[in-house]
Amino acid sequence: MKEKEVRQLSQLIKKELPNDYDKGNWKDEIDNTLSVEENRRIILEKIKPFKEQNLDNIKKADIKESNLRAEADRQTFLQNLERENEIEFIKSLDSIIKNKETDVLKKYYDKLRNFTQIVARKDGIYGMIVIGENGIGKSYNVIRALKENKIPFVFFNNFLTPLELYNILYQNSNDLILFDDTCNLLSNPISISILKSAMFSNSETRILHYETTSPKRTAPSSFIFKGAVIFLGNKPLDKGNEDLMALRDRVLFIELKMNYKEKIQIIFELAKQPYKELSEQERIMIANWIKDNCSIATKNLSLRLFHLFMEFYRYSKDKWQDYAKAILEEDERIAIIRKLEKQYSSVQEQIKEWINETGLSKRTFFRLKIMIN
């Protein structure tokens, strides 16, 4: 073949595989002993799988981009709802408490409100740690107890370094300080040490120290703290952290736990409260959907979820259930146990299948089974 014909074939390959031409030795595929047309036919045949793969990759990339865009839109929608949802959640919970407080609410919140007032006195007890999952009214009930009794406080709910914590305690050294969802404080040994000094002392005087050359320190290297601290968190305390356990043992500590049945009960109470333009029939329908589609295995079931689902319903009466299902999270281990309970009447058979299916121990099986019951 002439040199011109070889160049034409090379250009053909480049045109067909613009992204892969330089990745392989495609020029070697040109056979000078064959005609241009024979070379063309053979080359196109060899190129075909690569083109199909490229098209498939492009299609997958388009689908991925589309999914990412859809997820971004969903996250934006959820973020826009978050603040409004929180306000409506507080209004509904407030309505229940003012009108007719259920036994469940009394069980969980009476002690929390009383302990809040004890700490707020700043007389003998200077700290409280409250731990409990999202959406069960921790922050609401603490703040409500303070406002109802006209107790002033300062509030922080952002990420704080140990030095920022130290500065805040100095700036509010005579105040009641409420830290909400600043869990990083309880995972940092320096922050734990500072909080321990602020919330407890064997003597009457609580002195805080922080030595550093950083210009970000606005407080003196030591000062007397006369205020009190309430800490609200969502994650269980690390029982292996001796310093953290020492802090817990020196203050009031409450761990709020609400089981599945109690959450459902309160959700139906919330459904009785007016919500925007939704009728009571619609609100009860959504509460029933939650009852039918959630279980002990639903990890993120909370009181706030009910308000989020009502917003989904307001947004799309046709697709709200799809949106709701998309954000429900299930503990697969509990779901497996519940399935095995239905399949086998014998506990021994349940254990055998549990080990076969999960590879987990009999001890884990019984621990989860006790939690379910």
228-233 and 127-132 beta bridge pairing? parallel
pLDDT at res. 256: 84
Lowest mean pLDDT among 7-16, 154-163, 267-276: 7-16
pLDDT at res. 331: 81
Are 282 and 322 part of one and the same domain? yes
Q: pLDDT band at 265, cuts 50/70/90? A: confident
pLDDT digits (tens, 9 = 90+) for 321-344: 999 999 988 888 888 888 888 888
Are 240 and 264 part of one and the same domain? no
Q: Is the pLDDT of residue 121 over 70?
A: yes
Average pLDDT over residues 219-245: 92
pLDDT at res. 219: 95
Structure tokens at 236: 């269980």
Q: pLDDT band at 18, cuts 50/70/90? A: low
Residue 17 in contact with residue 47, Cβ under 8 Å?
Answer: yes
Mean residue pLDDT of the chain comes to: 81
Q: Is the pLDDT of residue 146 over 90?
A: yes
Average pLDDT over residues 175-202: 89
Q: Which of 2-11, 84-93, 193-202 has the highest mean pLDDT?
A: 193-202
Last residue within a domain, chosen from 80, 100, 120: 100
Q: pLDDT band at 194, cuts 50/70/90? A: very high
Say which DSSP state 278 is in.
B
Average pLDDT over residues 26-48: 70
Domain residue limits at 373: 331-373
Residue 185 in contact with residue 231, Cβ under 8 Å?
Answer: yes
Our count of domains for the chain comes to: 4
Are 242 and 264 part of one and the same domain? no
Are 321 and 338 part of one and the same domain? no
**Residues 6+ positions from 113 with CB-CB distance below 8 Å:** 141, 142, 144, 145
Q: Is the pLDDT of residue 55 over 80?
A: no
Q: What percentage of residues in the chain have a pLDDT greater than 70? A: 75
Q: Which of 9-18, 114-123, 264-273, 326-335 has the highest mean pLDDT?
A: 114-123
Q: What is the domain-level CATH number for residue 137? A: 3.40.50.300
| Predicted structure pTM score | 0.62
Q: In terms of pLDDT, which residue wins out, 119 or 140?
A: 119
Q: In terms of pLDDT, which residue wins out, 11 or 60?
A: 11
Lowest mean pLDDT among 108-117, 144-153, 168-177, 282-291: 108-117
Last residue within a domain, chosen from 100, 119, 152: 100
Last residue within a domain, chosen from 48, 66, 100: 100
Are 322 and 362 part of one and the same domain? no
pLDDT at res. 129: 95
Average pLDDT over residues 245-259: 90
Are 337 and 303 part of one and the same domain? no
Are 10 and 61 part of one and the same domain? yes
Q: Is the pLDDT of residue 182 over 70?
A: yes
Q: Helical H runs in 151-188? A: 162-171
Q: pLDDT band at 236, cuts 50/70/90? A: confident
Cα three-residue angle 364-369-373, rounded to 5 degrees: 155
Are 120 and 234 part of one and the same domain? yes
**Residues 6+ positions from 52 with CB-CB distance below 8 Å:** none
Indicate the Cα dihedral angle 52, 58, 62, 65, nearest 10°: 140
Q: Is the pLDDT of residue 76 over 60?
A: no
Are 182 and 244 part of one and the same domain? yes
Average pLDDT over residues 22-48: 68
Are 228 and 106 part of one and the same domain? yes
Are 352 and 367 part of one and the same domain? yes
Are 109 and 197 part of one and the same domain? yes
Q: Helical H runs in the chain? A: 3-16, 36-99, 103-120, 138-148, 162-171, 189-199, 242-249, 260-271, 280-293, 303-315, 320-327, 332-343, 347-358, 362-372
Q: pLDDT band at 102, cuts 50/70/90? A: low
